[in-house]
Amino acid sequence: DTAVSQTPKYLVTQMGNDKSIKCEQNLGHDTMYWYKQDSKKFLKIMFSYNNKELIINETVPNRFSPKSPDKAHLNLHINSLELGDSAVYFCASSAQRRNEQFFGPGTRLTVL
Amino acid sequence: ILNVEQSPQSLHVQEGDSTNFTCSFPSSNFYALHWYRWETAKSPKALFVMTLNGDEKKKGRISATLNTKEGYSYLYIKGSQPEDSATYLCASFGNEKLTFGTGTRLTIIP
């Protein structure tokens, strides 16, 4: 059974489009995260949700909007995609905020 | 130290040799230090989470130590095997978020 799953695995789209990435965890964790892996392979936190409540919004452009319908899901919606949004996006979850994090397989977004 | 820094950036080690690498982190607002192992084309997987000064943790041939007062952690691998080839990330938990270093890329030469 996959603990943290993301869909889609690959996403290729045109500049200006709106797209969503879905994340689901079946670990019963309270906290979920979105990370962006930049061109230098650096993992940077974007958002953190605890029990559906936004905890961290790390100076991410307003075009990025996370949505947590329940504590097992944290989706990422991106409006008006730009070339610089091309990256690998990882979802993760943890039982509590300081605990080890379990990562999804990543979504490679390519904006043309 | 303002950011999480890891050294060296990459390392080649002969199979069977032991090795270690360093993670430096801000000692203010510190709550926990995480180590993750990240194999190519996979996602990061946690090795250790340490919180107390002087903590030492061990999992098989891999161990880690923590010094919160001076802000550093070491990861040790004893008797390296080809399957140890991966990027090792450390991350400091503070201010409600995990801040990652850029990783040490370890390659084991058979």
Is 70 exceeded by the pLDDT of residue A3? yes
More confident residue, A52 or B43: B43
| Separation between Cα atoms, residue A44 and residue B64, nearest integer Å | 23
| Separation between Cα atoms, residue B108 and residue B110, nearest integer Å | 6
Tokens found for residue A18: 């709106």
Q: How far A112 CA lies from chain B's nearest CA (Å)?
A: 23
Sign of CA dihedral A19, A89, A104, B31: negative
Among left, alpha and beta (phi > 0; psi -120 to 50; other), residue A27 is alpha
What would the pLDDT profile of B64-74 be if each residue is shown by its tens digit? Answer: 999 999 999 99
Cβ–Cβ below 8 Å for A105 and B89: no
By the CB < 8 Å criterion, does A98 face chain B? yes
pLDDT class of B101 with cuts at 50, 70, 90: very high
pLDDT class of B1 with cuts at 50, 70, 90: low
pLDDT reported for residue B49: 96
Taking alpha carbons only, the member of B77, B82, B78 closest to residue B108 is B82
Angstrom CA distances, A20 to A25, A64, A81, B31, B81, stand at: 17, 10, 11, 33, 40
Q: How far B25 CA lies from chain A's nearest CA (Å)?
A: 16
- Locate the chain A residue with the closest alpha carbon to B6: A42
Q: How far B91 CA lies from chain A's nearest CA (Å)?
A: 10
